């Protein structure tokens, strides 16, 4: 890997300019690094972040990054030269032709594609200089940064467990996103697209992405005795597990493993339940469907409506070739929901599911193809 910083020190591309920091950036660096969102996702920043910290970064920290084989650029408006954020490289591994890329964007510059533009600009620059592989690491709950990674052509590669120290003294997992020098240009392909206008609706119910605001209601749902009885294995999840699920739901969607949704009553906006499409066999165009409703919303046809909305989205927008769902043989209500939505009973898988106290449970399997009538 050759030195990507030798010679030209300004990089202009994609509507932004990358240049070395100077002391005129002190106020903006201090304000940007003190921003609550930047502080939340960059555990290593001093808190509080002061002008003295900004001066140290400009005069010592950023130059040291270059001296160590990395980079630390100010991202600025090419017309006004106002600081918009920063982008840089760290943890270079020359023998592997590899480095990590990272960024933050000032609050006054958000919503303009600055992070994506800066990431693309620096990536192209270092690839042209001999780098082979760039890694971009994000927190699981930092979906905005993951969207930047995808838009800049990075692909998900896995989870690095307990990869970084947290401000509170613990450790955090990091998602790994990677772009190679010979990857095709443009954004990375997403297996699971966003919902049209952020939701699906038939006028009676609304489906939207599960999120952090759904923790309390989702915990209440999955603590309901009837829902617990049909869980695999049966049992109520701890609150911490529900919190992780809700905080990581958008990340799962972006990675392409699952599309977890909240079901709402269209008239009142009240929480009805959850519905999830699990992209379990993307290579063969297959996904699994699951759903749960609070007791007060059952026997109103809401589950059937949710299944119909998700199946149509799966076939029309994802391009699935098959959807399937499994129920316990005793769960006749769920079987009726699937049959009303057009699913066909395909058979019984004996001992497929873990049951209570180490036992095994059978699973009744239903399937739906795009050519099947959906009722």
Q: Give the pLDDT mean for 317-334.
A: 95
- Are the beta carbons of 284 and 319 closer than 8 angstroms? no
In this predicted structure, the answer to whether residue 8 has a pLDDT above a threshold of 60 is: no
Q: Is residue 275 part of a domain?
A: yes
> What does the DSSP assignment read for 82-97?
-EEEEEEEEEEEGGGT
Same domain? 89 vs 171? yes
Q: Please tell me the distance from the alpha carbon of residue 368 to that of residue 346, in angstroms, as a whole number.
A: 10
Same domain? 168 vs 253? no
Q: Quick one: pLDDT at residue 355?
A: 84
| Cα–Cα separations (whole angstroms), residue 352 to 232, 284, 325, 337, 361 | 10, 21, 13, 21, 6
Which residues lie across from 49 on neighbouring strands? none
In this predicted structure, the answer to whether residue 3 has a pLDDT above a threshold of 80 is: no
pLDDT, one tens digit per residue, over 58-107 is 999 999 999 999 999 999 999 999 999 999 999 999 999 999 999 999 99
Q: Is residue 223 part of a domain?
A: yes
In this predicted structure, the answer to whether residue 233 has a pLDDT above a threshold of 90 is: no
Number of domains into which the chain is organized: 2
Q: Is residue 188 part of a domain?
A: no
Spell out the residues 6+ positions from residue 164 whose beta carbon is closer than 8 angstroms to its own: 43, 137, 171, 172, 174
Same domain? 262 vs 326? yes
Please give the angle made by the CA atoms of 3, 8 and 12, to the nearest 5 degrees.
115
Q: Is residue 255 part of a domain?
A: yes
3-class DSSP state of 175: strand
Same domain? 350 vs 252? yes
Q: Which helix (H) or strand (E) holds 177?
A: strand 171-180
Same domain? 303 vs 345? yes
3-class DSSP state of 153: coil
Same domain? 170 vs 230? no
Same domain? 27 vs 162? yes
**Cα first-last separation, the chain:** 59
| Cα–Cα separations (whole angstroms), residue 106 to 146, 243, 269, 325 | 17, 28, 34, 45
3-class DSSP state of 352: strand
Domain that holds residue 46: 11-180
Same domain? 154 vs 207? no
> Which CATH number do you get for residue 329?
3.40.630.30
Q: Please tell me the distance from the alpha carbon of residue 191 to that of residue 189, in angstroms, as a whole number.
A: 7
Q: Please tell me the distance from the alpha carbon of residue 204 to that of residue 305, in angstroms, as a whole number.
A: 8
Q: Please tell me the distance from the alpha carbon of residue 249 to that of residue 209, in angstroms, as a whole number.
A: 8
> What does the DSSP assignment read for 105-127?
E-GGGTTSSHHHHHHHHHHHHHH
Q: Is residue 4 part of a domain?
A: no
Q: Give the pLDDT band of residue 197 (cuts 50, 70, 90).
A: very high
Same domain? 127 vs 206? no
In this predicted structure, the answer to whether residue 234 has a pLDDT above a threshold of 90 is: no
Same domain? 155 vs 223? no
Same domain? 151 vs 279? no
Same domain? 110 vs 165? yes
Q: In this structure, what are the phi and psi dihedrals at residue 7, rounded to the nearest 5 degrees?
A: 85, -120
Q: Give the pLDDT band of residue 375 (cuts 50, 70, 90).
A: low
Q: Is residue 210 part of a domain?
A: yes
Q: Quick one: pLDDT at residue 356?
A: 82
Q: Is residue 191 part of a domain?
A: no
Q: Quick one: pLDDT at residue 168?
A: 84
Is this model's pTM higher than 0.85 or not? yes
Q: In this structure, what are the phi and psi dihedrals at residue 118, rounded to the nearest 5 degrees?
A: -65, -40
Percent of all residues in the chain with a pLDDT value above 70, rounded to a whole number: 98
């Amino acid at each position: 890997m050759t030195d990507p910083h030798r010679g030209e020190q300004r990089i202009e591309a994609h509507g932004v300019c990358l240049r070395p920091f100077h002391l005129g950036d002190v106020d903006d660096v201090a304000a940007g690094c003190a921003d609550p969102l930047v502080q939340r996702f960059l555990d290593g920043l001093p808190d509080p972040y002061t002008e003295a910290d900004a001066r140290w970064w400009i005069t010592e920290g950023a130059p040291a990054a270059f001296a160590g084989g990395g980079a630390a650029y100010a991202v600025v408006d090419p017309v006004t030269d106002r600081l918009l954020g920063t982008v840089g490289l760290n943890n270079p591994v020359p023998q592997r032709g590899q480095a990590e890329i990272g960024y933050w964007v000032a609050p006054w510059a958000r919503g303009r594609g600055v992070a994506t533009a800066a990431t693309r600009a620096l990536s192209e620059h270092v690839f042209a200089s001999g780098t082979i592989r760039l890694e971009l690491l994000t927190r699981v709950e930092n979906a905005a940064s993951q969207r930047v990674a995808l838009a800049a052509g990075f692909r998900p590669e896995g989870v690095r467990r307990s990869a970084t120290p947290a401000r509170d003294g613990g450790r955090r997992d990091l998602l790994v996103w990677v772009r190679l020098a010979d990857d095709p240009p443009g954004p990375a392909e997403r297996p699971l697209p966003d919902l049209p206008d952020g939701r699906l609706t038939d006028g009676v119910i609304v489906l939207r992405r599960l999120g952090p605001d759904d923790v309390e209601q989702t915990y209440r749902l999955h603590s309901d005795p009837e829902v617990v009885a049909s869980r695999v294995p049966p049992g109520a999840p701890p609150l911490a597990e529900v919190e992780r699920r809700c905080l990581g739901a958008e990340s799962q969607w972006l990675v392409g493993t699952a599309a977890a949704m909240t079901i709402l009553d269209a008239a009142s906006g009240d929480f009805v339940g959850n519905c999830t499409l699990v992209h379990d066999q993307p290579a063969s165009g297959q996904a699994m469907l699951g759903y749960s409703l609070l007791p007060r919303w059952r026997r109103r046809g809401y589950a059937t409506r949710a299944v119909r909305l998700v199946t149509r989205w799966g076939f029309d927008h994802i391009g699935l070739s098959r959807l399937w769902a499994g129920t316990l043989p005793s769960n006749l209500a769920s079987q009726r929901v699937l049959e009303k939505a057009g699913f066909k009973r395909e058979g019984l898988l004996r001992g497929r599911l873990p049951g209570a106290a180490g036992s095994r449970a059978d699973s009744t399997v239903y399937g739906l193809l795009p050519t099947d009538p959906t009722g």
